[in-house]
A and B are shown apart, each in its own frame.
Chain A
Amino acid sequence: MAQIIVVTSGKGGVGKTTSSAAIATGLALKGKKTVVIDFDIGLRNLDLIMGCERRVVYDFVNVINGEANLNQALIKDKRCDKLFILPASQTRDKDALTKEGVGGVLDELSKDFDYIVCDSPAGIEQGAMMALYFADIAIVTTNPEVSSVRDSDRILGMLQSRSRRAEQNLEPIQEFLLLTRYSPARVKTGEMLSVEDVSEILAIKLVGVIPESQAVLKASNSGIPVINDEESDAGLAYADTVQRLLGEEVPFRFLTEEKKGFLKRIFGS
């Protein structure tokens, strides 16, 4: 039985796809057989971030509609043989995702995989609701910014009322906060909510803090998930996040401004 993880947020552009790609890759690098699914029907992006856009033949909706089987649609990652990608359709609309259809695909994947990572679209419509419905674990991806925090709280409400676990009175979804695009320097000057602020407001367990990082754009330019960049702060922060998801205690890094050189310290930046 696979663990189903949804990477969700409500708000768009906060880093869900970046995080889904990084976390799925990280789990696979840890030896867990992992599949990452793009639920953003009509606006697929995960294939680009994973660097497999030219290998997409069939997609998630084809499988749901019985036009292809899972083996035909799953793309095996080039770098990691425990990792698979199920791309979204470019042409259909989000209503193509039915509860029965999605449930059937997840059931079949569940037999074979350790982790299923669902990259949710923004919003609270069909695609986003289907991405979270079957989840065991939710990674609530949040930027330290008012609209993102408010939307994250709304998504927490959905997880607690509109998911399979809520409807069937099962143990609730495990909720984790992933704070992304964090700038310690701006927190220090009082321009940005701190990790403590956001944790206190949302009151869920913190699983990772990903700094605002140039490595993320570099990674998406090259189609290699940022977690593969072991020299980057964001890559290391995602690796820590994956370890925490697997139950390890890992201290948080990159929460304070990086130390500046002597001259910069004297003259400021």
Chain B
Amino acid sequence: MSILDYFRSNKKPNTAVTAKERLQIIVAHQRGERDAPDYFPKMKQEIIEVIRKYVQISEDQVSVQLDQNDDKLSVLELNVTLPDGK
């Protein structure tokens, strides 16, 4: 590496690191969806409906994710971002 390169690479932000982090999230999400059982999309929709009976939320405030940790254990993770002051 030349001295010039050294200064150049110091200034540049490492965008590859950002790319990798973004991809890890996307891929985990895509894989979570395709490994989910067939009933999953419908169940997710119904969970959202139930919450909506009580709190006004939009669909992207709810994340429902199924994680297969190993053969014996799956974890259903439900995250709801509630609007302020409710």
Residues of chain A at the chain B interface (Cβ within 8 Å): 145-146, 149-150, 153-154, 157, 160-161, 187-194, 197, 201-202, 265-268
Contacts and interface: CB of A to CB of B under 8 A. Distances in A.
A259 B5 CA distance: 15
A256 to B, nearest CB: 12
Nearest to B24: A201
B12 A201 contact: no
B74 interface: no
B34 A201 contact: no
Interface of B is mostly: helix
Contacts of A157: 30-31, 34
A178 B24 CA distance: 19
Nearest to B3: A268
Contacts of B23: 146, 149-150, 193, 201
A190 B5 contact: no
Interface of B: 1-5, 8-9, 12-17, 19-20, 22-24, 26-27, 30-31, 34
Contacts, number: 60
Nearest to B9: A189
A86 B48 CA distance: 51
18 contacts: A145-B19, A146-B22, A150-B26, A153-B26, A153-B30, A153-B31, A157-B30, A189-B5, A190-B13, A190-B16, A191-B12, A191-B16, A193-B23, A197-B19, A201-B20, A266-B2, A267-B2, A268-B8
B31 to A, nearest CB: 7
A186 B22 CA distance: 19
B4 A202 contact: no
Contacts of B26: 150, 153
A23 B3 CA distance: 41
A189 B5 CA distance: 9
B9 A197 contact: no
Nearest to A197: B20
Nearest to B8: A189
B19 A154 contact: no
Given A154-B30, A157-B30, A190 B8 contact: no
Nearest to A145: B19
Contact of B4 (A154, A191, A267): A267
Nearest to A190: B14
Given A154-B30, A201-B27, A189 B20 contact: no
A194 B14 CA distance: 12
Contact of B2 (A150, A154, A268): A268
B69 to A, nearest CB: 16
Contacts of A149: 23, 27
Contacts of A194: 16
B27 A150 contact: yes
Nearest to B15: A191
B25 to A, nearest CB: 10
Contacts of A190: 9, 12-17
